Structure 1
């Protein structure tokens, strides 16, 4: 606001105000007053940017500012699932970024947006990607990464954002976790008060099974950003709750999920659904089926929450009985790197199946076999893992729950990729891709990329040997 007062003819202050508002709006899309505020701010920013461009028509920054304001418009439309309007705003954004670099190829901040366009357009599934190409959104994954890297090294306004995005994409979508983590740690050392970077590192600890490290990292952060940046506070408590769940400390996990639910922070539909899923699952584990079903039913039928709806579907159909409870505990042991305990429990569960013990959940048999196979895989017993998969995957098409079935195919593919059985690995990914869940399909695309890269590396290695 101060920048607007001092420089009313410059769009920078108007853009940053709208930028902060759209970040807040992304976490609270039901807030109609906030939506109207955002619209007004974007309109005003765009008006000033257009006036600024007519005065400085040969300055690349004038086109860059136009791109930023239309980029916020595109974000707003996509958040509201209005993809046609999002496309129109996005096309305008891309065009202005291209004009900026045409005027000055060293205007490095513009490459950040271009890189995001090129990268994500290349991730689009088949027909949508084809249509996007016709409309002018040609994707190029490698070019996109190079452009984002250019901004991260040379940008003026978005250097740090470019660096953070480069490492985030490398981590989540490129499978280059170790290099990405190294970069994030270096970035965090430069900005030790930036909770977003710290929580990204905490997330890595959780997803890699170092749950105590994740809890320790999250406990360093206070709740001082709860009003302005609620996503940080939400992620802190969510990470800790899931960690305690994976430690099989269900009461502690439940108390943290309750704490998160009761916080007056704005929460996206994704987080609202995650809360309901874990509250439901915890209720099921302690035998409170009525509460469990009530929680599962609160997961909205919305694009942002479709992952949780798919994940919860099996638990809606079947309560957690004693066999499934033992499976959950053993799976958590594996997820928290207590390998020997998980392996022994997995063997015991398979022995129970062989002896005729059954769950009321018909998916349990497949889940237990997959757990045993993953135990072998995590301990680098790849042939033993493959042998377990080969025993039950031919019957996997009969597994009732399509969500968990798809993820078993993904797990099996990772084993096959490690063993360099690439053709069969591709077949497993094709089977997994039949699930109509956006998150799962993103993971499938990442796995395809990693498979292709591994195949290419192997070909190069063989060429070098020759």
Structure 2
């Protein structure tokens, strides 16, 4: 039985998530390592739980308290990025770019004058990385790669100041792994090489020892383990994130894709049903995501021999009132749905 491939949105979702610096943990026994650290962590937790308006208010308050510090602008940009990824929309691209450009404006002169501290370099590197992701997603792969390389260089400067600065391990680990994937046909060349394991190791360290990037590293590892077919390790991290952030939909997407890849149709359907319910509660007109969920559901039912249920779901997908932009973006999925519907009707 041939299994349909998982949507390419995984790659975007992953990259977007790789660049999304969020974490929350109990730091009461630790010294404050950034001004207004608790305010930052509260905003991050709200973002993880998809309370975007409240998160924006937290980071706007941080900007008002520290207008010359890049932290507030960076994390506010990450809220807008999270919203766009959650909605599969470019609705907040202006705000996203404005805040990242402000981060660069505040930190790049310090880098050039060699007066930047490791935190300045961390935010500058991640600003470049976030902009690179956005450009790559929108077709600018070459410019996106150039920005990713620039991000790597800046993060390495942060490590030169402090080799145990685990916050920087997240971005560097992500870069090494995904660059190796992107250039795998050249990995036999000595100066390029395959640095996937190096990337994984750096992310594992960040997932255990970073403060602000601990859980982003866990998210990154979920998708890397998924790609490497290390499904049990991925599911363990999924369970951890679901326990901490019950409103966070990304672990549900990850679990659904993992079950789908393992041909575990029944468990996949259970997760997809809950994911669809969450989308309908908060984004009932988000037809892009509803197509994603229901296309997988239709294939699961088909593989279980439930042709009539599969047929009904396919018809519902094709009956959605889609605008031209969604039709274009989901053209491949809609074409596959039409073919699956014909198979069910035989």
Tell me which interval the TM-score lies in, with the shorter structure as reference length: 0.5 to 0.7
* Cα distance in structure 2, aligned partners of 1:57 and 1:142: 33
1:139 Cα offset (Å)? 4.3
1:73 Cα offset (Å)? 1.5
Of residues 181, 191, 195 in structure 2, which corresponds to 1:140?
195
Q: Deviations over 1:272-297 (max 9, x none)?
A: 422331123313543xxxxxxxxxxx
* Cα distance in structure 1, aligned partners of 2:150 and 2:62: 26
1:119 Cα offset (Å)? 1.3
1:56 Cα offset (Å)? 9.5
> What residue is the counterpart of 1:189 in the other structure?
243
1:157 Cα offset (Å)? 1.2
Q: Secondary structure at the match of 1:81?
A: coil
* Cα distance in structure 2, aligned partners of 1:161 and 1:229: 25
1:204 and 2:258 aligned: yes
Of residues 171, 188, 191 in structure 2, which corresponds to 1:113?
171
> What residue is the counterpart of 2:303 in the other structure?
246
Distance 1:228 1:189, change over 3 A: farther
1:152–1:162 Cα contact (<8 Å) kept: yes
- Higher CA-based Rg: 1
Superposition TM-score, scaled by structure 1 size = 0.52
Distance 1:125 1:58, change over 3 A: closer
Distance 1:183 1:91, change over 3 A: closer
2:107–2:116 Cα contact (<8 Å) kept: no
TM alignment of 1:433-444, pairs within 5 A: none
1:152 and 2:207 aligned: yes
1:92 and 2:150 aligned: yes
Of residues 274, 277, 290 in structure 1, which corresponds to 2:333?
274
1:170–1:180 Cα contact (<8 Å) kept: yes
Structure 1: which 5+ runs fail to align? 287-324, 326-466
Larger relative contact order (C-alpha < 8 A, sep ≥ 6)?
2
Over the aligned positions, Cα root-mean-square deviation in angstroms equals 3.6
1:165 Cα offset (Å)? 1.6
* Cα distance in structure 1, aligned partners of 2:254 and 2:288: 12
> What residue is the counterpart of 2:232 in the other structure?
178
Q: Secondary structure at the match of 1:219?
A: helix
* Cα distance in structure 2, aligned partners of 1:66 and 1:257: 46
1:207 Cα offset (Å)? 2.7
Q: Secondary structure at the match of 2:63?
A: helix
2:188–2:194 Cα contact (<8 Å) kept: no
Distance 1:165 1:30, change over 3 A: closer
1:123 Cα offset (Å)? 2.4
Of residues 75, 95, 110 in structure 2, which corresponds to 1:16?
75
Distance 1:56 1:62, change over 3 A: farther
* Cα distance in structure 2, aligned partners of 1:216 and 1:97: 41
* Cα distance in structure 2, aligned partners of 1:213 and 1:29: 25
Higher mean Cα deviation, 213-222 or 62-71? 213-222
> What residue is the counterpart of 1:123 in the other structure?
181
1:271 Cα offset (Å)? 4.4
> What residue is the counterpart of 1:69 in the other structure?
127
1:111–1:148 Cα contact (<8 Å) kept: yes
Distance 1:229 1:183, change over 3 A: farther
* Cα distance in structure 1, aligned partners of 2:113 and 2:327: 40
Q: Deviations over 1:202-248 (max 9, x none)?
A: 33223323322222223234223428998765544343232223233
Distance 1:34 1:280, change over 3 A: farther
